[in-house]
Amino acid sequence: MVEKSELTVADAEKGQAPGHDAERRRRVRRGIVATLVGGTFWGLNGTVSKWLMDAYAIDPLWLVCLRELTACWLFLAAAAATSRGREQLRGVWRSPRDLLAILGVSLGAILFSQVAYLEAIDWTNSATATIMQSLGMVLVLGYVCVKMRRRPRRREALGVVLALTGTYLVATGGNPGQLSLPPQGLFWGLACAGAAACLSILPAAPMAKWGNFTVNGLAFLLSGAILAVVYRPWEHMPALDGVAVAVLAACVVVGTFGAYALYLQGVKDAGSMRASLLGTIEPVTATIATVVWLGTAFSPAEIVGFGLIIAMVYLTA
C-alpha cells in the first residue's frame, strides 16, 4: 500500500556505524513480524468479508461504508496519540492544496480499492480477488518506467509475461473456449489491480509530508462520507445478529486498521523491498482460508495461475 521506492528506516540505516547494527537488526526482525502479521490479517479479512456477504446478504457497498466510517477514527486516534501526529493533524488543515491531494487519495485510491476489492470478492472469492489485486504491481511498473523514461528490465519483463499467463489461467481455467470466472468477477478483479496501483502511487507524496495515519484517517473519512451520501447505507441495513456484529468489529479493528498499521510499520522497519516480498503472504493466506473455511475448490490450472502471479510479485518488486 506504500510507494515501493519510499526510503525506509531500515534502508537509511544501512550506512550507519557498526554500533548501530544490533539496533538495526532488531528493527528489521520487528518489521518482518509486523509485515507477516499484517499481510495475514489482510488475507483473512477478505475471506471473512466473503462469509459475511454470503451469510447475511450484506451489500459490498454497505460493508465499504461501515469499514471506512469506523476505521477512519482509529487512524485519526493513532495520529493524535503522538506529538508529531497532532502537529500533522493541525497543519494539514492549513494547506488547501494538500487537502485536495488527500481528497484525490480518498476517491482514486481508498474508495476505488475498497469497492473494487469487495465487489471482486462478492463475484468470485477472496483468494481470486486478492491474487488479481497483485496484478497492480505490473501497472505500477509501467508507471515507473514511463516516469523514469526507461525500459523494463529483463526480470520485470518476465514478470509481466508471468502475470498475463497467470491471469489467463485464472480467468479461463486453462480452457480458452470459456471463462472460469463470471464476467463481472473478471471485471472487478482487473479493477482491483488498477485500484492497487492507485493505492501504491497516489498516497505517496501526502504520506511523506503528513504521515501515514493522518493521510489514511482523513482519506477514509472523506471517502466514507462521500459514499454514504451517494449510497445511503441506512436504507440497505442487513439483518445482523450478535455473531455478525462481532465479526464486523473484527473486520474493522483487525482486518482494516490492524492490517494497515502493521504493514506500514513493517515497511518502515524492514524496508520496502523486503516488506513487498513478505506481503505475498496475503494472497497465500486468502487462498488457504478460502479452501479450508469456505470449502472453495480450485482447478489445477487456477492454482498454477495463482503461483505465476505470486512469482510475478517477486520478479517486479
The answer to whether residue 250 is domain-embedded is yes
The answer to whether residue 9 is domain-embedded is no
Packing angle of the helix pair 96-105, 83-92 (nearest 10 deg): 100
Rounded distance between C-alpha atoms, residue 156 and residue 311, angstroms: 11
Packing angle of the helix pair 21-55, 112-123 (nearest 10 deg): 50
Q: What is the pLDDT of residue 316?
A: 62
The answer to whether residue 74 is domain-embedded is yes
* CA–CA distances in Å: residue 272 to residues 8, 28, 78: 7, 11, 22
269, 223, 303, 263: which is closest to 42 by C-alpha?
A: 263
308, 265, 306, 311: which is closest to 36 by C-alpha?
A: 265
Q: What is the pLDDT of residue 262?
A: 84
For the record, the C-alpha cell of 255 comes out as 482486518
Rounded distance between C-alpha atoms, residue 168 and residue 301, angstroms: 9
The answer to whether residue 11 is domain-embedded is no
The answer to whether residue 164 is domain-embedded is yes
How many domains does the chain contain in total?
A: 1
66, 70, 180, 164: which is closest to 125 by C-alpha?
A: 180
Q: Which residues of the chain have pLDDT under 70?
A: 1-20, 176-179, 267-268, 271-280, 316-317
Domain that holds residue 196: 38-316
The answer to whether residue 3 is domain-embedded is no
The answer to whether residue 227 is domain-embedded is yes
Q: What is the pLDDT of residue 207?
A: 82
pLDDT digits (tens, 9 = 90+) for 64-94: 999 999 999 999 999 999 999 999 999 999 9
103, 111, 98, 107: which is closest to 210 by C-alpha?
A: 98
Give the angle subtended at the CA of 314 by the CAs of 207 and 117, to the nearest 5°. Answer: 55
The answer to whether residue 14 is domain-embedded is no
Q: What is the pLDDT of residue 260?
A: 77
Q: What is the pLDDT of residue 1?
A: 42
